Chains A and B, each alone.
Chain A
Amino acid sequence: MRNVFRLADRAAPIEDVPDPLRVRLPLGGARLLVRVGDAVAAGQRVAESPGLRGDVHASIGGVAAAVDGDFLTISRDPDAAPAPERLGEVAGADADALRRGLAAMGVPCADLTDADLLVVNALEPEPGVTALGALCRFESPAMLAGARLAQRIAEPSRIVLAAPRGAGLSLGPNPVHELEPRYPDGLDALTVRAVTGRERPGNAVVVGADRLWLMGRAALEGRAATRAVLTVRGRNLRVAVGASVRHVLDFAGLAAHEGDRVLLGGALRGEAVWDLDAPVPRGAYALTVLPRAAGAVYTDAACMNCGECHLICPARILVGIMARFAEFGRFEGAQRYGLDSCLECGLCAWVCPARRPLLQFIRLARRELARAAEAQPPAASMETPGDAPVEAPGAAPEARREVPA
């Protein structure tokens, strides 16, 4: 019955999707370095992110055509575009310089701190996805280069590859920790627990195989993070970041119909796009078309207290109670019941017989708490005693809105 949770241990080879004529790059709050009308080389840095979140690079050469909101559109123009740019080595004397260099190549690395153990997570994030396995299998030079770079940054005493049992993956001479490939055990926090036997140990960092591949590409070829490998109905496609979802679906021969869900990710964790022109973001690992009839229909029903959400929760949260706090706008109460521990695997909502949108309640609470923390000075924001309700008028009705079928 629970075979729906089995993660892949085989992977299809990686195919290249031809570059689109236009890409729309999500900037994620980064500061633009080019102006509309500028000629842009493929691989050129076009926006700079604060912190170590990774700068933004042009995935195709052309002309910066438009900036709308938090997106930069680049149109291909072979005449105007300078030659593709290679940024050269990720070099640096110490770990901090390397981190900055890596972020300048578009690889987020704020969490790559000093650690005893570096876990490379090659378990697929969701059932039906094979992209991470494909990277380990078919891109081993880049993966090894990534591991070498990670070694220099985090300086762990060992690097362990966490891989599906029986998949036969390896990462150079590093030890391999084989795991039963079952969702949600491929989530980073749970994989680290499986490898170390401890929950969120302070001395371990985890890097997904997809990020390690980006690091390796940067180290080996001097290429910025302008590509993502997506699993699309069993195939693994290498796509320019910022290409439209439509472009990828067309290449894969998939069509979306009225009322279907188009998901960046898989059916359990993917984010639904509402527009086929939505860009493929950096860090995407799958693109899924879920027919209307197969999609979830949530209801605005009351919790019947069966407790299945708690029993399936990998974070052992009493989800039913926590989600009710969130539903009624008592977000601090939700926090006391483990809101911060939630891994957003979605199993609670998957199993709920009343079909309550539990993950939506959780995300609502997280967003409202983040907004409240932003609005208040940092010192006074946290740790309000008791569960003094943060009244957010209108929050509950929004959460209760029925999701159209």
Chain B
Amino acid sequence: MIPLKLTASCPPHVLSGRTVRGLMIETLLALCPAAAMAVWHYGLPALRVMALCAGAAVCAEWAVERLSGRPVRVDDGSALLLGLLTAFLLPATAPWWLALAAAFIAVLLGRELFGGLGGNPLCPPLLGWAICMLSWRGLMKPEFAVLHTELVSPLSELKYQGLAVADRFPALDLLLGQQLSGLGAAQAGALLLGGLWLVLRGRLRPHIPFGFLAGTALMALVLQLLRPGVSAGPLFHLLAGGTVFAAFFLATDPASSPVTRRGMAAYGLFAGAMSVVIRTFGVWIDGAFFAVLLAGLATPMFDRLRPRVFPAPGRG
């Protein structure tokens, strides 16, 4: 008689069914409304940038995994998500090579150099965006695309024209993406919808996104009280530029954000507050993205905000 072969393994013997791939697919689904809004606002050029970035990211990831002899897991969807997030940061007018460059930098320098998914110390799409921004500032700034559209950037209006002009942006318009920023990052309302859906599904812990929004609102309020008539209010900072995008989709990059509850909340608050500070006092128009990079650098410190572990047996 052939003995029955049973499966033996360490417990637990059942899993929750959560997978990396499921997580990525749900995040991609949450980005769909914003992608649709981007196409509605900018037309085919937006679709072109998204396709270029996503395709480049997937190809780069696959190539690196093949060449480095690591198991090929490009089908987990993380590279696709990375590419799409990168595209969301670019203006719809970005030339093809710029889109490719941003995606390649995000994948190669942002992630694969550090060992792939989970190893990156900074949010990879933002790294791609930041390097392109420093290298090709003119082409990267959405404000230079004004010739192609009648949308304007509320943040640069605030910076260069003052509060009186900036105050003319109705909140609803900002929610609907009637503003100039990255092609997806500008779709505040659609992103909020997608982000909240992820939180409700339990795929996204609320600490970072809500901490980020709270930090933004609080800092805006403080500055508004300190500098009345000069600084914009909380609602403006929450809806203008890439605040919502950064809060729900960039700051929450798993590898570069803290994992403890207190760490996540502090990190979110810090990044949110810094985004208003950079917007107000920095030379860069949208501080939210730089704030996330900055907070990412501080993640190891935020992770020190960890609870004491349960006492070990026999030690009181």
CB distance B310 to A315 under 8 Å? yes
CB distance A260 to B259 under 8 Å? no
CB distance B261 to A311 under 8 Å? yes
In-complex Cβ contact of A320 among B23, B119, B259 (8 A): B259
CB distance B3 to A275 under 8 Å? yes
Q: B7 at interface (Cβ–Cβ under 8 A)? A: yes
Complex Cα–Cα for A367 and B20 (A): 30
CB distance B261 to A292 under 8 Å? no
Q: Beta-carbon contacts of A340-357 to B below 8 Å, as 1s and 0s?
A: 110110110111111101
Q: Is the interface of B mostly helix, strand, loop or mixed?
A: loop
Complex Cα–Cα for A298 and B11 (A): 11
Complex Cα–Cα for A357 and B9 (A): 9
Contacts of B10 in A (CB 8 A): 349, 357, 359-360, 363, 403
How distant is A109 from chain B, measured CB to nearest CB, in Å?
A: 16
Complex Cα–Cα for A243 and B11 (A): 23
CB distance A274 to B12 under 8 Å? no
CB distance B254 to A304 under 8 Å? yes
Q: Beta-carbon contacts of B67-86 to A below 8 Å, as 1s and 0s?
A: 00001010000000000000
> Which segment, of B96-104, B163-171, B301-309, faces chain A?
B301-309
Complex Cα–Cα for A114 and B230 (A): 70
Give chain A interface residues in 301-317, CB to chain B under 8 Å. Answer: 301-308, 310-311, 314-317
How distant is B264 from chain A, measured CB to nearest CB, in Å?
A: 8
Q: When A200-B316, A261-B6, A310-B259 are in contact, do A296 and B309 touch as well, CB less than 8 Å?
A: no
How distant is B21 from chain A, measured CB to nearest CB, in Å?
A: 8
In-complex Cβ contact of B6 among A1, A260, A294, A360 (8 A): A260
Q: When A320-B259, A341-B310 are in contact, do A307 and B73 touch as well, CB less than 8 Å?
A: no
> Which segment, of A89-97, A100-108, A263-271, faces chain B?
A263-271
Q: When A202-B316, A272-B6, A311-B205 are in contact, do A304 and B11 touch as well, CB less than 8 Å?
A: no
Q: A199 at interface (Cβ–Cβ under 8 A)? A: yes
Q: A393 at interface (Cβ–Cβ under 8 A)? A: no
Contacts of B12 in A (CB 8 A): 267-269, 296, 346-347, 349-350, 359
Q: A194 at interface (Cβ–Cβ under 8 A)? A: no
| A304 (CB) vs chain B CBs: closest residue | B118
CB distance A316 to B14 under 8 Å? no
CB distance B7 to A302 under 8 Å? no
CB distance A316 to B9 under 8 Å? no
| B310 (CB) vs chain A CBs: closest residue | A315
CB distance A290 to B13 under 8 Å? yes
Q: Beta-carbon contacts of B293-316 to A below 8 Å, as 1s and 0s?
A: 000000000010011111111011
Give chain B interface residues in 41-75, CB to chain A under 8 Å. Answer: 71, 73
Complex Cα–Cα for A363 and B11 (A): 10
Complex Cα–Cα for A320 and B315 (A): 24
Q: Is the interface of A mostly helix, strand, loop or mixed?
A: loop
How distant is A327 from chain B, measured CB to nearest CB, in Å?
A: 13
Q: When A318-B260, A351-B16 are in contact, do A271 and B310 touch as well, CB less than 8 Å?
A: no
How distant is B61 from chain A, measured CB to nearest CB, in Å?
A: 14
Q: When A305-B118, A316-B307 are in contact, do A261 and B260 touch as well, CB less than 8 Å?
A: no
Q: B133 at interface (Cβ–Cβ under 8 A)? A: no
Contacts of B303 in A (CB 8 A): 318
Q: A273 at interface (Cβ–Cβ under 8 A)? A: yes
CB distance B115 to A302 under 8 Å? yes
Q: B18 at interface (Cβ–Cβ under 8 A)? A: yes
Q: Beta-carbon contacts of A182-211 to B below 8 Å, as 1s and 0s?
A: 000000010000000001101000000000
Contacts of A294 in B (CB 8 A): 14
How distant is A279 from chain B, measured CB to nearest CB, in Å?
A: 15
Complex Cα–Cα for A276 and B3 (A): 9
Q: B147 at interface (Cβ–Cβ under 8 A)? A: no
Q: A338 at interface (Cβ–Cβ under 8 A)? A: yes
CB distance A316 to B5 under 8 Å? no
Contacts of B14 in A (CB 8 A): 267-268, 290, 294-296, 350
Contacts of A300 in B (CB 8 A): 71
Q: B15 at interface (Cβ–Cβ under 8 A)? A: yes
Contacts of A269 in B (CB 8 A): 11-12
In-complex Cβ contact of B118 among A189, A202, A302 (8 A): A302
In-complex Cβ contact of B310 among A199, A297, A303, A351 (8 A): A199
Q: List 9 A-B contacts (CB under 8 A).
A: A200-B316, A268-B13, A272-B13, A295-B9, A296-B13, A302-B119, A307-B258, A338-B309, A357-B9
